[in-house]
Amino acid sequence: MGFLLVIGVSLNASNDKLYEIVSEYRENGLESIKSTLEKSLLDREYWESVVAKKDTKFGYYESVKYIFIASKKNASLQLFEVDSNKLSQLSKANAIFGENQGDKKIQGDLATPIGVYDLNKRLSGLDQYYGPLAFSTSYPNLYDRLNNKTGYGIWIHGLPLNGDRSEKSTRGCIVVENNILEQYDKTINFKDSILITSIDNLAEVPKSAIVDILQSLFIWRDAWINNDLDLYLSFYDDSFTRFDRMKIDAFKDYKRRIFGKEERKTIEFSEINIAPYPNMENQNMFRITFFEDYKADGGYKFKGIKELYVLLKNNKMSIIVER
């Protein structure tokens, strides 16, 4: 998919660039073109061309189709559809949030969490208190767990079916009118939907930030493929924690041993999604997910979802959490 995308952009490039690519193909064959196109993935100009055509004000999405954006201060829940290069608002509804207006930290603190969450289940047959159905979220996510946040059962659900409307806040869930919830159910597939929650309105993301992250992501990948340890590690923040709580110094030692084997490897990224990550520290933070296909000569293989939480510093991603 990425290979074809690069070809498409290259064909729209200058005649000189196209001449170089075609000449390389004639002289050295298809594999040499792939090498040339791979280099384009490291080029800022390529990613600027990709991002220029997309509405990226709330992130960059290749496989996410629906985005819920919740503002606690404005008591609102918006639903957007990602359709090719467009971002279309499908609805904006009044919503009820947790009594505590801050971020969720511990179980029972009555706060709706701030961050980025997947919808992981559609729930029905619930107690009438939750309305006709509910969508459960992935709180606590990896970043939350590594920051020792606790609690569970954060849902988007409806109002009591018995007509009781006395509660003006929740224990942390997001609540909307039942007819709106039922419309969501008819519209979305929860499996390709995410929820972004913030205190205030979600700030729009500059296109340049998305370009910075995409270029960084593929330079990091190229350093990984080519066993360039110093360049690879330059994308990790001093505060980095791996999914298993390994800290940066131990991680560097581990990677020195792995890279020291000088294994040849192929690493492919697809289905890249980059979501702005609201946080109480107002850091320029993002959650990146993508499908990774990894094969090394030593026999290790991995196919699955990779998850990164990154800060954007000096036009470069700095990884703080990885799985």
Encoded tokens for 321: 């959490």
Same domain, yes or no: 70 and 135: yes
| pTM passes above 0.95 | no
Dist. CA 97–CA 126, nearest whole Å: 20
User: Residue 4 has what pLDDT?
Assistant: 42
pLDDT tens per residue across span 58-86: 999 999 999 999 999 999 999 999 998 89
Mean pLDDT of the chain: 93
User: Residue 162 has what pLDDT?
Assistant: 96
Same domain, yes or no: 21 and 51: no
pLDDT mean over 129-146: 98
Q: Is 60 exposed, middle or buried (0-12, 13-18, 19+ CB in 10 A)?
A: buried
Question: How does DSSP assign 116-137, residue by residue?
Answer: EEEEEEEE-S--GGG-S-EEEE
Same domain, yes or no: 74 and 32: no
Same domain, yes or no: 278 and 311: yes
Same domain, yes or no: 69 and 194: yes
User: Residue 37 has what pLDDT?
Assistant: 86
Domain hosting 175: range is 64-198
Same domain, yes or no: 13 and 84: no
Domain of 186: which CATH number? Answer: 2.40.440.10
Q: Is the dihedral of CA 222, 239, 276, 122 positive or negative?
A: positive
Which of 54, 51, 55, 157 is CA-nearest to residue 98?
Answer: 157
Which of 194, 209, 233, 217 is CA-nearest to residue 290?
Answer: 217
pLDDT tens per residue across span 294-309: 999 989 999 999 999 9
Residue ending a domain, choose from 198, 223, 256: 198
Same domain, yes or no: 89 and 184: yes
Same domain, yes or no: 136 and 262: no
Q: Report residue 176's pLDDT band, with 50, 70 and 90 as the boundaries.
A: very high
Q: Which of 19 and 206 is assigned the larger pLDDT? A: 206
Same domain, yes or no: 159 and 215: no
Q: Is the pLDDT of residue 140 over 90?
A: yes
pLDDT mean over 202-220: 98
In the chain, the number of structural domains is 3
User: Residue 14 has what pLDDT?
Assistant: 54
Same domain, yes or no: 243 and 183: no
User: Residue 15 has what pLDDT?
Assistant: 62
Q: Report residue 9's pLDDT band, with 50, 70 and 90 as the boundaries.
A: very low
Q: Is the pLDDT of residue 13 over 60?
A: no
Which of 124, 104, 81 is CA-nearest to residue 174?
Answer: 104
Q: Is the pLDDT of residue 241 over 80?
A: yes
Same domain, yes or no: 123 and 243: no
